[in-house]
Structure 1
């Protein structure tokens, strides 16, 4: 359907632009370098022939493909983000192209002995015989989510070049700062004007997701008393020991490394401290809203219990909700999931419908009034040096976008 080399060329042109976001920044986009790709995408959309192309003061890029049918069809949208995670370097990305993958180890970096092996990453084996794009072992790849951008761009180009394919009005949007949880914060849903949309931000081919974690962040501050250790008896209170009590009092098996599917967790992802004060940074996740609320209460109750043991306010907790499970917003309009599932089947892709163990712009957009399931972009091992994407998966994603557009137009005929 779509030209394989065109997909490769477009994808490589995007991943070589450093767009890493920065969670410590207060601006949107959080880094100036995100403008480099945003401006490139705006220019490409205009050259391609898309209409209503715009870029706002926060680098949100939007464009329209006008309807080519006479009857009324709901406006649908496709969304992807152009930033890459702060967790791993996205500077000087140097992709490697492995053609006709033989199912064996892929040497990413011989000098540093970095190997992408199917013995550890067994998903590789399902792509034997395909073309795989990998890192060189020193950076991430950026398939999250530049694969999604590539697929949306190629799908729009294909629809423009094939006017015989019926479709309603299609809106596209490329966003900054998704990786730091702000991708939807300044997304203008009213301006976008779609009845529903899809984020092209999933992983392996076939993924279709309409439920995700409920998410919160918790900052736990533990205060102690610092006294000269030579004269500390009955006077010193070591905040780090109290922090250890707090950590060990939470369910040890309800952590990311011990959970899967719809199981929630507490994740201690940062700690800093000394005798006087220790700070713990947690993320709290659960698909079930009641369990999610119970987890937040457990954190607060534990702090109160420890304070009572020490007879002083030595532990304080600040909990902030981050996003919620989009399922409650998508279930009333499940036909939008049905369209995606049918489109995959028409593209000879087996749908893999499962909950996201994470978040997506689609979750926040759903709660802003734009129901937004998530569709595979094709990449694997996001946020690190072992990231890779099969080109054939990107081709299938392009086909799914086109099929969704066509099926929607046919349904409302």
Structure 2
């Protein structure tokens, strides 16, 4: 048994000696080589940004130069088999483009890679959609494309100007509360091309206060806090000495105005009719007022700018003193020498009266008398022809361009 073990050990060491002898006879080739496989000598890219890698088979240092690095960049990547990185940018032109990459190593012929990039018709814009309102009646849209194109616009959008860089300025008109929508279509002028882009556009307007007057400045009783200044209108034929007078308001730190008999304010309210309508039919008027006595008429507003018939809503000359008109009916109980906050919310078929934040009367009237002229509305004055109006005090007038709800008014009044 020992003899067998000794023989195995001798064989093991003999094997090691022979193996070492074979390694000493192996030689590593140091012959320089350099080349690129033939199927990599032509590279084709799409029109979009793209990266490809090519293997340069070499054991030598080498360089690579693009003949047009403005769109085709080349980079040598160390320690990788695919050691040549080719990057192309988006092809914005309307044709294919080509360049060459020259790969060089000392002592070898240059290897040339032909690079071709196709093109894709494209249209892009700087905004994916447009949301508009009445605050700014112009907008811009920048169009970037590599084809000839034309625009299709909604009928409520007009092109105002354009710049060489593709920036367009468009205009549109204001709307009443609500919204309208459409699409700006940018499409190829070539009828055989299906390239097009649609940019959604929405114009949205919320109900908001468009006019408000507080009468806190005795030197300027027509000054607005929102909207435009009021115009004082005096019926000189009836009362040549009529004057709008500053008086104390409902609180010690504010003032009011006393409306003289047969005089009124004219308000350029800034409201806009709904599409295909000529008058404003939805709105809210607010009056903070005080009457000196009951048994007399006190008119809040008049839609007939000739002012030759009854006002639309007034305090009636009854006891109790109610508010309304024949078309709406009358309600309420106005006390003299007491400040009240009256909201009149109008929508055809849905008219609401609120006093100090609380609903006190409704009507389903659709009477055309409540349609307001886009030019103006008469505030706080009765008809000149009847001369049955009376002076009263106003601490605030406000106008909203839509019909406020009960929740809206309770919120304005701070009622939970």
Under TM normalisation by the shorter chain, which class is it? under 0.3
Structure index of larger Rg: 2
Structure with greater contact order relative to length (CA < 8 Å, sep ≥ 6)? 1
Larger helix proportion of the pair: 1
Larger strand proportion of the pair: 2
